[in-house]
């Protein structure tokens, strides 16, 4: 039986936008991944809580964005784990639950630069592959040439969730910055207004 190769794309997705979707699309089409899972993370202690939608709303937005695309799945596994959640703990939990899957972590070059601050980062590098995409202002890190790190040449995308939240809060129409169903859901629910 062939091993299913799954990329894990962690984030608060507050809200999910076309940049996330473009990167996910790139990863499943231009790497050896069979699937990509959006792992929606609970409140990040480093981010302001007041701008963060409730977990279930962010999860619903990602479900709307992914729609019926068979290449993508959505995971709320971190909602049921101790807080704060750590990437290595989630990766181990998923690996135990899906032993026939080979998981890779998808992260930006900015995250790779601060990897040494992550919980059990050595174990992460030992047990998993990291697919690293470019981020503006970050060209390399001390981990760039690690055997577990694969730098992919995905396009640099500068759309951000904070840009969308601000634009919505001042009454701008940003419908082409989000997947259509996610945008419709956000608008219907009056999120970020």
pLDDT in tens, 155-192: 998 899 999 999 999 999 999 999 999 999 999 999 99
Residue 139: pLDDT band with limits 50, 70, 90: confident
- At residue 137, the pLDDT reads 86
User: What spatial distance separates the first Cα and last Cα of the chain, rounded to whole Å?
Assistant: 49
Encoding tokens for residue 83?
């807080």
Segment 10-32 mean pLDDT: 97
Copy the structure tokens of residue 102: 């080979």
pLDDT at 1: 59
d(CA 34, CA 27) in angstroms, rounded, equals 9
Instruction: Provide the pLDDT for residue 40.
Output: 97
Tell me if the domain spanning 4-157 has CATH number 3.40.50.620.
yes
> Is the predicted pLDDT of residue 102 greater than 80, yes or no?
yes
Q: pLDDT grade, residue 129 (50/70/90)?
A: very high
Q: Is the peptide bond before 15 cis (omega within 30 degrees of 0)?
A: yes
Q: What is the pLDDT of residues 42-65, one digit of tens each?
A: 876 556 666 789 999 999 999 999
How much is the pTM? 0.94
Q: Are strands 72-75 and 35-40 parallel, antiparallel or unpaired?
A: parallel
Confidence of residue 141 (pLDDT cuts 50, 70, 90): confident
Kindly state the average pLDDT of the residues 3-32: 97
Domain ranges for the chain, please list them.
4-157
Q: What are phi and psi of 51, to 5 degrees?
A: -95, 0
Task: Give the C-alpha separation, 128 to 124, whole Å.
Answer: 6
């Amino acid at each position: 039986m062939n091993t299913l190769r799954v990329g894990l794309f962690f984030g608060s997705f507050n809200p999910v936008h076309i940049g996330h979707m473009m990167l996910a699309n790139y990863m499943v089409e231009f790497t050896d991944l069979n699937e990509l899972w959006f792992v929606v993370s609970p409140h990040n202690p480093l981010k302001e809580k007041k701008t963060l939608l409730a977990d279930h709303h962010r999860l619903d937005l990602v479900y709307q964005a992914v729609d019926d695309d068979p290449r993508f799945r959505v995971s709320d596994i971190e909602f049921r784990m101790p807080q704060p959640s750590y990437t290595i703990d989630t990766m181990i939990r998923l690996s135990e639950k899906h032993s026939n899957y080979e998981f890779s972590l998808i992260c930006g070059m900015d995250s790779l630069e601060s990897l040494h601050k992550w919980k059990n980062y050595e174990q992460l590098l030992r047990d998993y592959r990291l697919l690293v995409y470019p981020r503006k202002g970050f060209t390399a890190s001390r981990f760039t040439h690690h055997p577990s790190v694969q730098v992919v040449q995905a396009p640099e995308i500068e759309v951000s969730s904070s840009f969308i939240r601000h634009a919505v809060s001042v009454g701008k129409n940003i419908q082409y910055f989000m997947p259509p169903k996610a945008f419709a859901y956000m608008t219907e629910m009056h999120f970020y207004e």
